């Protein structure tokens, strides 16, 4: 088995083997009913490894990207995935191998208490409540080069009584970017929005659709889908299609998958699976496995979230 695959397999096994220990520690937390909350805090750890990060060869540099987790992304209630595209002039070898560990902490404050229900997914409580909030976050990355990268985040969302909402996310670190979103609740289960994100090297324009609907009883199906245009600072142009689907077995447990395809002057083929489980209405754990085929990047993420 190749070395990078062996490392990836060992990482997955270590997470799976730690599951019973984590669950045992959380047994004392007894379930509660309709536990509304106004604060949410999360801590996450992810590990990524890649064989080659170059996506397009330029005269002296490569247009590359980092994939990272956003456990409390104001542009999408719950957690989501993001990408920083940039020119890498120090690592132009397409055969290089890199690893990176990232620790993230986020805090969120809701303007009004978020009501929960045993008949709806706890993960989507803020979505069903049409909640407004503000958030701050920090992440620390430790790549193989030994250079510690600190990223600060500030964002929020505000929803008007008529269902119109606006979101923003400002991130400052090795890559600075700003994301804006304007959207509308079509009904209590559906939103449509437009998003714009600009960073040091690339601009992204997206149309987004989200729906969480009842399948039967307490079973729900959630769908996030987007289509976007990416414009690089050296006149590169690409298009991106992405979707994420989750099945909610009950109010506490969900599992699903995701994909993302970017084509044009730079390319991406991303697939992943994720699952989230609420031990009670206040505490949950999320696990994610992700694979990007073009850069041969594997990502493993585990996140704990508390509400009160």
Do residues 172 and 189 touch, judged by C-beta distance below 8 A?
no
Q: Give the model's confidence band at 67: pLDDT under 50 very low, under 70 low, under 90 confident, else very high.
A: very low
**What pLDDT does 213 receive?**
96
**Residue 34: what pLDDT?**
58
CA–CA distances in Å: residue 253 to residues 142, 144, 164, 275: 32, 35, 29, 8
Tens-place pLDDT, residues 218-268: 899 999 999 999 998 778 899 999 999 999 999 999 999 999 999 998 788
Q: Looking at the DSSP assignment, which residues form a beta bridge with residue 156?
A: 134, 168
Q: What is the pLDDT of residues 138-186, one digit of tens each?
A: 988 875 555 667 889 999 999 999 999 999 999 998 778 899 999 999 9
Global pTM exceeds 0.85: no
Q: Say which DSSP state 233 is in.
A: T
SS3 96: coil
Residue 253, C-beta contacts closer than 8 angstroms, at least 6 positions apart:
275, 276, 277, 278
CA distance 277 to 288: 12
Could you tell me which CATH class the domain 3-307 is placed in?
A: mainly beta
């Amino acid at each position: 088995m190749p070395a990078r695959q062996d490392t990836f397999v060992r990482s997955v096994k270590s997470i799976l083997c730690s599951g019973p220990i984590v669950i045992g520690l959380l047994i004392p937390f007894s379930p509660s009913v309709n536990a509304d909350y106004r604060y949410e805090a999360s801590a996450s750890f992810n590990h990524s490894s890649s064989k080659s990060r170059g996506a397009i060869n330029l005269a002296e540099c490569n247009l590359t990207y980092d994939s990272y987790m956003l456990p409390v992304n104001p542009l999408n209630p719950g957690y989501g995935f993001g990408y920083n595209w940039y020119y890498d002039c120090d690592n132009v070898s397409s055969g290089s191998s890199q690893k990176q560990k990232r620790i993230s902490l986020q805090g969120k404050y809701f303007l009004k208490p978020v009501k929960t229900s045993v008949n709806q997914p706890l993960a989507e409580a803020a979505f069903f409540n049409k909640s407004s909030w503000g958030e701050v976050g920090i992440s620390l990355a430790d790549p193989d080069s030994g250079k510690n990268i600190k990223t600060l985040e500030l964002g929020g969302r505000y929803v008007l009584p008529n269902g119109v909402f606006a979101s923003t996310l400002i991130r400052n670190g090795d890559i600075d970017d700003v994301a804006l979103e304007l959207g509308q609740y079509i009904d209590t289960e559906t939103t449509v929005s437009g998003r714009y994100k600009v960073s040091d090297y690339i601009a992204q324009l997206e149309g987004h659709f989200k729906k969480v609907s009842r399948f039967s009883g307490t079973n729900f199906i959630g769908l996030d889908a987007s289509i976007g245009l990416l414009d690089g600072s050296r006149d590169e142009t690409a298009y991106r299609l992405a979707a994420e689907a989750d099945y909610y077995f009950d109010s506490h447990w969900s599992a699903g998958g995701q994909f993302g395809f970017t084509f044009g002057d730079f390319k991406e083929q991303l697939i992943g699976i994720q699952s989230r489980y609420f031990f009670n209405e206040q505490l949950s754990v999320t696990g994610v496995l992700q694979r990007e085929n073009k850069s041969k990047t594997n990502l493993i993420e585990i996140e704990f979230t508390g509400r009160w």
